[in-house]
Structure 1
Amino acid sequence: MEFQYLINTDSMSETELCRLMTTYGDDVRRYAYAITRNQEQAKDIAQEVFLKAFHHVGSFRGNSSFKTWLFAIARNLAINEMRSSYVRRIVLFEWVHPQANERSAESDYFAEQSVQELRGIILSLPAKLREALILTLEHELTMAEAASLMGVSEGTVKSRLHRARKIINKKWKEAER
């Protein structure tokens, strides 16, 4: 729990803010992107998350990890953003990367095609299923952390993950035909 010492703190230094941004910036931006599906909105939301954390660090109670607290802020900001503006459909963030071993141009091409297909499948998932998948796989939150962040029970998160995987497997098999 790297930033747990910020519990019961009313302020943080700019240096501490920089450390937070370095540690969690990419994760927060990718999570915001997973919700909004818009790179520019995700960048704006990520910046706003860290500004809110900087100004409201005193509201961090330590009931969860600092990362989970930042994700909760990001989620709320992203949902508010989506409610107030039209969200364009854009390809999901790059969280699936082919291995960088020695490959031929042909294998690189087919690997990229597979990644694009998988991105499309994930993007087509209902928002609640996609969010559960992204929080647990990409951002490595525990079931309890994801459930707390999403405001649902752990069982609901497990159910959403199961349904997401089932849909992905079905669509992947259909795409192979």
Structure 2
Amino acid sequence: MTPALPVMSDETVTAIALAAARGDSDARERFVRALQLDVRRFVTYLARDAQAADDLTQDTFLRALASLHRFEGRSSARIWLLSIARRVVADSLRRTAVRPRIADVADWQGAAEYSQPTGLPGFDEGIAVMQLVGTLPADRREAFLLTQLLGLSYAEVASLTGCPVGTVRSRVSRARAFLTQCLADAAATPGSVGALVAA
């Protein structure tokens, strides 16, 4: 397992991207390494398909590196890259919607669940929370994940999604309220975490 890289500031990542745009090959590698985890997390939750995350991440970087020479630093490189990731996921969802999915086993969902580690502390609760996040409307889920998982500011998410900052705040607030209420309800009912996981 490779050690986690320290989180770089937006200014540093943008400076690296600008150097890469000028042809610095070392900067291109540092740009990918600095943002790879953010992109992978974002596409995983946006697409709601962990199996496709590596391909979506790779597609995002392929598109970004192909157009990096046009990056001028008017927004942070992180926001620029996540906007590309958003389009990659949207394109992938459109392609997937028009072709059927084929599984090698009759119960592919069960096989995927059995292959996951269990018995870890907080495992069931983590699954329950992510299932609840998955039930959020797409716009609230995206705003919640970008701010709470990737740590982007409301202004950055507004720039990325093309909506006002107040709308982003409202979406995150409603997502939090929904998740908090669901978890409070689950805590008040014995055995309900298991029920949430099974739902």
The yes-or-no answer on 1:68 pairing with 2:79 is: yes
Give the one of 1, 12, 35 matched to 1:2. 12
CA contact (8 A) 1:11 1:56 kept: no
Deviation at 1:61, TM superposition (A): 2.5
The yes-or-no answer on 1:141 pairing with 2:140 is: no
Letter in 2 for 1:40: Q
Does the residue aligned with 1:61 lie in a helix, a strand or coil? coil
TM, length-normalised to structure 1: 0.80
Does the residue aligned with 1:32 lie in a helix, a strand or coil? helix
CA contact (8 A) 2:154 2:168 kept: yes
Q: Equivalent residue for 2:162?
A: 151
Q: Calculate percent identity across the aligned residue pairs.
A: 30
The yes-or-no answer on 1:120 pairing with 2:131 is: yes
Deviation at 1:151, TM superposition (A): 1.1
Distance 1:10 1:114 in 2: 43
Greater CA drift, 58-67 or 157-166: 58-67
Query: What is the Cα-based RMSD across aligned positions, in Å?
Result: 2.3
Q: How many residues get paired?
A: 159
Distance 2:126 2:21 in 1: 44
The yes-or-no answer on 1:39 pairing with 2:63 is: no
Alpha carbons of structure 1 residues 29 and 9: separation in structure 2 relative to 1, 3 Å: closer
- Gaps of at least 5 residues in structure 2 are 1-10, 102-108, 110-118, 190-199
Deviation at 1:17, TM superposition (A): 2.4
Letter in 2 for 1:168: L
Letter in 2 for 1:152: C
The yes-or-no answer on 1:26 pairing with 2:26 is: no
Letter in 2 for 1:158: R
- Gaps of at least 5 residues in structure 1 are 91-105
Deviation at 1:13, TM superposition (A): 4.0
Q: Equivalent residue for 2:26?
A: 15
Distance 2:45 2:39 in 1: 10
Deviations along 1:14-43, one digit per CA (max 9) or x if unpaired, are 432221221110110110111111123221
Distance 2:31 2:173 in 1: 33
Q: Equivalent residue for 2:195?
A: none
Q: Equivalent residue for 2:192?
A: none
Deviation at 1:161, TM superposition (A): 0.6
Distance 2:167 2:70 in 1: 27
Q: Equivalent residue for 1:79?
A: 90
Greater CA drift, 128-137 or 18-27: 18-27
Distance 2:28 2:19 in 1: 16
